[in-house]
Amino acid sequence: MTSPLVAILSGAGISTDSGIPDYRGPSGVWTRDPDAQKLVTYAYYMNDPEIRRRAWQVRRKNRTLTAEPNAAHRAVADLERAGVPVRVITQNVDGLHQRAGLPARKVLELHGSARTAMCTQCGARSAMADALVRVEAGEDDPACLACGGILKSATVMFGESLDTEVLGEAVAITKACQVFIAVGTSLQVQPAAGLPGIAADNGARVVIVNAEPTPYDDIADEVIREPIGTALPELLERLRAGGGL
């Protein structure tokens, strides 16, 4: 029997066990400090050197680049290794699905990657770690080494559009899957938030794993409120064992 195509939409909640705080949860980054959104808003970032200086200090201190995958990330990679067709559509920028062993070609990063720095002028890309070495050495706002332009993380800031090719592929996978699992996402940010509805409209079984209620709970076939680090591995083990959901 052919295994069903499983699409997994992952949000910040899947990475909190790896020490990366979420954004909109009760103790999320933006819940505690709404002003922090300015650091990831394109217009503020491009027009205010002080915002850029603060943003580089946040990048220097945050745990994204040193975080390790947790049980939930590993369970997704294990499912793929077991031969189940899996595609991950992630709102996260931490690269932990890939670090857990999921092939990069099976991960769609809707919001880009914090592991890469990019020039806003010439588009040159380089390792974020290299830019952070320059910050550690005393550069407040490291410029592009190729053209002198402003560097930013290769993530989608507020005020920027998602990559249309990546989004188009995400929608195609959502329409084609038989099982759609939304995990650790508040489902409040469009267009990603609309994917469960597209999956349901195309006949997929929709499962939502999240600590807080989401706007799409009422269309889900199953809603799980248990901690992601145990709930997602158990859920995927049911799939891997061939028992369905």
> Which stretches does DSSP call E strand in the chain?
6-10, 86-90, 107-109, 112-119, 125-127, 151-155, 179-183, 205-209, 222-224
Catalytic residue among 97, 111, 152, 240: 111
For residues 14 and 184, the answer to whether their CB atoms sit within 8 Å is: yes
| Residues 6+ positions from 61 with CB-CB distance below 8 Å | none
Tell me how far apart the alpha carbons of residues 245 and 26 are, in angstroms, rounded to a whole number.
Answer: 30
Q: Give CA angle at 2 (229, 179), nearest 5°.
A: 40
**123-130 long-range contacts, CB within 8 A, separation 24+:** 125/154, 128/59, 128/65, 128/153, 128/154, 129/65
For residues 33 and 230, the answer to whether their CB atoms sit within 8 Å is: no
Cis peptide before 4 (omega within 30 of 0): no
Q: Are strands 107-109 and 86-90 parallel, antiparallel or unpaired?
A: parallel
In the residue annotation, 97 being an active-site residue is answered as no
Tell me how far apart the alpha carbons of residues 20 and 93 are, in angstroms, rounded to a whole number.
Answer: 11
Tell me how far apart the alpha carbons of residues 15 and 21 are, in angstroms, rounded to a whole number.
Answer: 8
Catalytic residue numbers, as ranges? 111
